[in-house]
Structure 1
Amino acid sequence: MSSAEEITGAPVVNLIHEPSEKQVPLDFEDMILRKRRGWENANPEFEMPEDESDDELVEEDEAGCPLPSTPEDTQLIEAEMTEVLKAGVLSDEIDLGALAHNAAEQAEEFVRKVWEASWKVCHYRNLPKWLQDNDFLHRYHRPPLPSFGACFRSIFRMHTETGNIWTHLLGCIAFIGVSIYFLTRPSFELPAQEKIIFGAFFGGAIICLFFSFAFHTLSCHSVEVGRLFSKLDYCGIALLIMGSFVPWLYYGFYCHYQPKVIYLSVVCVLGCLSIIVSLFDKFSEPNLRPLRAGVFMSFGLSGIVPAIHYSLMEGWFSQISQATLGWLILMGILYIIGAMFYALRVPERWFPGKFDLWGQSHQIFHVFVIAAAFVHYHGISEMAMYRVTVGECEVPHPPIDF
């Protein structure tokens, strides 16, 4: 008789050497045996003291540790085995489901990373409809990349948008540097009012170039993202034109308050109308490329009216000799030439498939935009220096008559 029999006076059911008549599957039997193995089996050197009281056993049970051998009814054992069996099966189902779910997620993540790292350029005919913009560019197109990280990493890959991305990215960085240098001049060199006027031009240029860079980088992400940044790109062009008007209207009509306010108001209205038109979905369709070029060219050419007024007021020959009007005319010519390249899709129209990577019309358009913006910056700087040299107006600003 074991020590437990001497204490309790009841036979001990030995789950290790005397299994019940009903056989349990091996896995769950092993689990039960491990769960209910007595202390003397877990530690052969342990011996139950013969004088251990029932109170000590009860305290151990309340502490959560299993008793070495407890008299139990056979029905209770079978019921407990059934509960353990159910719990084990249920836990297996949960674990298997979670494992399958995690495996599916990991496989999807792995495939996505492999795809992002190993995508290849494709032919125009293999692109989805929403990415088919210029059918004269045959090869080296990016496939859809539904990840912002993959789109930004494509900046360092060779494809049809590489030139478009880098031309305006570098232009944006250049204008940020110039604006920081200009706007941080001491107040005795450049008054705050002059900084605000030039800031309108710098802000329009930086926003335009940044939105263009973002569009050409993220246009392959999805239909929604491409459409959104396409609209932002067109809005940036309108802001660049508006910002370009502000300095030269301010300095050109420096001593003529009424026409200056009128022209600035008209420019703001036309700019807002251009932005509203740019927000329509159909405005960004490939077949409406000439319309887009026409809208922004018309907006830019609206400056002819104040330019003629300015020249008649100040004198043609004096303004041309001072080069202020000449820089303005050169800027307009550069913008118009770039827009014509963009609208006609030259030279790839004449040589399809030959300018897929470099020399395409959109890249030429970007170069002309940056050149025109720097020419304009130089022109308005000359106008500002001339105004500083001349000094204040001799006649005070008259009130506006309506």
Structure 2
Amino acid sequence: MSSRHEGRTASSEIFENRSDCEDESKVCSKAMKGKKLWKRVRCQLVEYHSLPGYLRDNEYILGHYRSEWPLKQVILSIFTIHNETLNVWTHLIGFFLFLSLTIYTAMRVPEVVDLRSFQHLPDFLRRADLHNIRWHVLELLSNCLPERFSPTNQTSECVLCAVKEGAANLIAPLMFQPITRWPFFAFLGGAMFCLLSSSICHLLSCHSERLSYIMLRLDYAGIAALISTSFYPPVYYSFMCNPFFCRLYLGFITIFGIATIIFSLLPVFQNPEYRTFRASLFFGMGVSGAAPILHKLILYSDQPEALQTTVYEIVMGAFYGIGALIYATRIPERWKPGRFDIAGQSHQLFHVLVVAGAYTHYHTGLVYLKWRDLKGC
């Protein structure tokens, strides 16, 4: 009897242990399902009224917000649809555009030929490809001479033109000395920094309040860097022959940019009620460039390049100014709240206009480079 009792006791213990394990596995599976469910619920898009205070920036965008997602899901959300998707991609595409322009411009920078006088002419002629130039002149002559080489005035003029063109091809490098490119590349660097920092800010700011604070500071610094460096090419190339005004204008805009960055580090600068003030501050930086532009027009009123670059700069300023106005007034979402949550909101329009203005300024810089390369001071 005792052996039977012991056997029953052992089997009952085994059964109880097995049931305990099954209960534990059920609890574990429920916990896993609970975690997955919480993760899924946590990474759902929410409405404006469900946001923490630091993410409430535009009350006219009513839905499709990401709120305090895990960092991995935040990064992967670059490929999903939410109300920041186009804010990320408009400036990210702009960044790759300017990266391509920078590489393209760097590859096309000609070598500096330091031949300011004809004292280097013998050495240059020894290095010149006279064989190709000779054949170029002969080809021009064969196109302008008649079949029987009849000596006419038209033939003589054509021969003279051919000789002049051949000589121009030979002498042109002597008169061509590219100027320094650092102001132009400073602008390209400022544009890339602004566009990339803006994309990163819109992508990561929803993770946490601390990361949002850091990203917004980076975004404001990028805007100030773009505005400041945009002045470097026009100021430097307009006043490269007037060092005093060149240093004066460059120093002023640099100090203004640094002051704006320092001011943007203040926590109060981030509050939504300072939206108009933020836009006004950056707009004021842009307007301050009117002084060197007017000064340039006075100095070089007889130069067509001065007028051409001014037209480009007015168009660039219009893009930036309209963008800042749209950003500050929150048009068009203020007219129909909720309609522009995904596409068409003011911040997206602002981004597109910033890229358009920077691209216009890129062409302005090309005009400055060609002008100063060929004419110098």
What TM-score comes out, normalization by structure 2 length?
A: 0.72
Q: Which has the higher contact order (CA 8 A, sep 6+)?
A: 2
Paired AA for residue 333 in structure 1: A
Query: Given the alignment of the two structures, is residue 215 of structure 1 paired with residue 139 of structure 2, yes or no?
Result: no
Letter in 1 for 2:196: F
| Match of residue 377 from structure 1 | 362
Which residue does 1:151 correspond to in 2? 74
- AA paired with 1:228? I
Q: 1:198 to 1:126 in 2, by over 3 A?
A: same
How far has the Cα of 1:321 moved from its partner?
A: 7.0
The aligned counterpart of 1:122 is: 46
Which residue of the partner structure matches residue 204 of structure 1?
A: 190
CA change 1:185–1:129 in 2 (3 A) is: same
Q: Residues 1-400 of structure 1: matches in 2 within 5 Å?
A: 110-111=36-37, 114-115=40-41, 119-139=43-63, 141-185=64-108, 187-188=110-111, 194-315=180-301, 318-319=303-304, 322-391=307-376, 393=377
SS in 1 for 2:294: helix
Unaligned runs of 5+ in 2: 4-8, 15-24, 114-176
Change (3 A) 1:274 1:308: same
Unaligned runs of 5+ residues in structure 1 are: 1-18, 20-24, 31-98, 394-402
Report how many aligned residue pairs link the two structures: 307
Cα shift at 1:105? 9.3
Which one has a bigger Cα radius of gyration?
A: 1
Structure (1/2) with the larger helix percentage = 2
What's the CA shift string for 1:221-266, capped at 9, x where partnerless?
Answer: 0111111101100000000011111111111112111100111111
Q: How many angstroms does 1:113 deviate by?
A: 5.2
Q: Check the 8 A contact 2:112/2:178 in 1, yes or no.
A: no
- Of all paired residues, the percent bearing the same amino acid is 37
Q: Does the Cα contact within 8 Å between 1:211 and 1:232 map onto a contact in 2?
A: yes
| In structure 1, distance between residues paired with 2:31 and 2:185 | 49
* CA RMSD, Structure 1 to Structure 2 (Å): 3.3
Whether the 8 Å CA contact 1:151–1:218 is kept in 2: the answer is: yes
1:348 to partner: Cα distance? 1.1
TM superposition shift of 1:112: 6.2
**Partner AA of 1:146 in structure 2:** W
**Is contact 1:201-1:243 (8 Å) kept?**
yes
SS of the residue 1:243 aligns to: helix
Distance (whole Å) between structure 2 residues aligned to residue 108 and residue 188 of structure 1: 66
Instruction: Give the Cα–Cα distance (whole angstroms) in 2 for the partners of residues 204 and 104 of structure 1.
Output: 52
Per the normalisation by structure 1, the TM-score is 0.68
Q: Deviations over 1:265-316 (max 9, x none)?
A: 111110110000111111111111000001101111111111111111112x
